[in-house]
Amino acid sequence: MADAAQIFSEHRERLAGVAYRVLGRIADVEDVVQDAWLRWSTVDLDSVDDPEAYLVRVTTRLAIDRLRSAQARREAYVGPWLPEPMLTSPDVADSVALNDSVSTAMLLVLESLSPLERAVFVLREAFGYSYAEIAGFVDRTEPSVRQTAARARAHVEDHRVRYDTDRATRAEATQRFLAACVGGDLRSLVQVLAPEVTMISDGGGLAQAPRKPIVGAELVARALVTFAGRTPAAATAEIVELNGGPAIVARYDGEPVSAITLHLVDGRIETIHLIANPEKLTGLAAAQG
């Protein structure tokens, strides 16, 4: 019979996936998963009929509690708040639901839900748990969970933007965008941007980044060229897989200094998420190492 550590290891990736979609911050995810392990390590395994259900229930409740605390802290955040980027593998695209639910665009929409609504939405839409299972996870009745899920789904549908999902299109646009930024080619950069493109930058008051969204191809292109010009000459930039799609990570002395995710509509970049807050790049540094 498998021991506690082996069973937990088998489910760890799923637990982290649930926690990340609920919280959007790597450090919080690591804390929640560690707390779940501490609780699991003291359980009498013979008393647990379904280890996955037990672990998802514990992880979900820990994540909801942590999100409630985090939302209060975010009210004092300097400038726009974006989810912390997470390295993903290309095979996440094998599941459309998982891929969409981990995108920064979707995570931002989920930010406007209550912690309970967000958890229920993630468990249902991303991981496909039944309403009865979710009811047990969040300690609610099944009818209540159905109502919460319907309310959350309606909110998401009303607020989400349908960005392009074709990987080849996204990869090509990301390559063109990176080449234009590195070369300081303003004209080429404008050509890959939608006329009303919006750039949202998250510096958290700890890095140079605009504290308000910038709108319009010309203004965004100039801001990006300026931002690229401030990057140390020895810095490097590469295209990596972040949050289920191609993105750009710039590094200096091996440490990440910014992460850029592009969202396309009809083949042109409609929204740019730029993260420069060093506290939100530690996960990329750790994963690289």
**Statement: residue 98 has pLDDT above 90:** no
202, 83 in Cβ contact below 8 A? no
* Domain range 4-76+104-159, CATH architecture: Up-down Bundle (1.20)
Q: Band of the pLDDT at 74, cuts 50, 70, 90?
A: confident
CATH number for 167-288: choose from 3.40.50.300, 3.10.450.50, 3.40.50.1860, 3.30.470.20.
3.10.450.50
Q: Which residues contact 271 (CB under 8 A, 6 or more apart)?
A: 105, 161, 163, 197, 198, 199, 200, 262, 263
Query: pLDDT band for position 286 (50/70/90)?
Result: low
In this model, does residue 93 exceed pLDDT 50? no
Rounded to the nearest 10 degrees, what angle do helices 131-138 and 142-159 cross at? 100
Rounded mean pLDDT of 206-212?
Answer: 91
- Checking if the pLDDT of 216 tops 80, the result is yes
Each residue's pLDDT tens digit, 4-35: 999 999 999 999 999 999 999 888 999 999 99
Q: Which residue has the higher pLDDT, 222 or 75?
A: 222
The mean predicted confidence, pLDDT, of the chain is 92
In this prediction, residues 264-288 reach a mean pLDDT of 90
Q: What pLDDT is stored for residue 283 in this prediction?
A: 86
- Under the banding of pLDDT at 50, 70 and 90, the label for residue 287 is low
**Interatomic CA distance for residues 158 and 27, integer angstroms:** 30
pLDDT at 208 over 60: yes
pLDDT tens per residue, range 158-205 = 999 999 989 899 999 999 999 999 888 999 999 999 999 999 999 999
Domain boundaries, the chain: 4-76+104-159, 167-288
Q: What is the pTM of this model?
A: 0.90
Examine the pLDDT at 266 and tell me if it is beyond 50: yes
More confidently predicted of 163 and 97: 163
Look at residue 70 in the predicted model and tell me its pLDDT: 85
Closest CA to 119 of 23, 31, 12, 35: 23
